[in-house]
Amino acid sequence: MDNRISENIYFTDIFRRLGCSKVCSKFKLREDQWEYLAKRGFDTILLEGRTLIIKILSEENSEHSCKVAPINSHPIFTALHATGACCRVSLEKWHKISKDRELKEKDIFYILLIVKEWMIRQQNPKNELVSEKSQLNLFCS
């Protein structure tokens, strides 16, 4: 199976499951967050997001870091909650990333891919990332 098909199947599956969650499915970006995103751009938002992910999902905050994260401030916080990636407990539940080990770079990259895909689907639900190459370009431009 080529990568494009397998990642679309995975994204479809994870977003279908998240859509069934009363908690995750209630999150939407507010108008001011869309304006912030438009002003700063995806690249900058994702770089900021990487820093925030490392900070809030670090080993010492391994349980419910989402209870202390300011949900309403940055689009990344909203996206993390919407994608089940807001804390180590949720990461393990939704994405099978163990809460008992330090996040690796590949885990952070994966979280950023899911966050960006969620934001894209918020703009246009039929718009999906189509290839691994386009995903890599997000971080290598």
Q: Find all residues with CB under 8 Å of 113, minimum gap 6, and list them.
A: 129, 135, 138
Lowest-confidence pick of 76-80, 87-91, 128-132? 128-132
Residue 135 lies in a domain: no
The amino acid at 109: F
pLDDT mean over 22-48: 90
Give the pLDDT band of residue 128 (cuts 50, 70, 90).
very low
Residue 87 lies in a domain: yes
Q: What is the mean pLDDT of residues 109-132?
A: 74
Tokens, residue 9:
């199947």
pLDDT value at 16 more than 70? yes
Predicted confidence at residue 127, as pLDDT, reads: 47
- Whether 43 and 29 have beta carbons less than 8 Å apart is answered as no
Query: What gap in Å lies between CA 51 and CA 3, rounded to an integer?
Result: 28
Mean pLDDT of 38-61: 85
Domain presence at residue 137: no
Cα 110 from Cα 98, distance rounded (Å): 14
What is the Cα–Cα distance from 38 to 34, expressed in whole angstroms? 6
Alpha helices in the chain, H assignment, sequence order: 3-19, 31-40, 42-56, 75-82, 88-95, 105-123, 132-137
pLDDT surpasses 80 at 129: no
**What residue numbers bound the domain in which 37 lies?**
3-130
Check if the beta carbon of residue 135 is closer than 8 Å to that of residue 124.
no
What residue type is 125 in one-letter code?
Answer: P
Structural contact between residues 97 and 105, judged by C-beta atoms closer than 8 angstroms = no
Q: What is the pTM assigned to this prediction?
A: 0.76
pLDDT, mean over the chain: 79
Is 39 domain-assigned? yes
Comparing 89 with 73, the larger pLDDT belongs to: 89
pLDDT of residue 69: 56
Provide the CB-side half-sphere exposure for 89 (13 A, CA): 6
Is residue 136 in a domain? no
Number of structural domains the chain divides into: 1
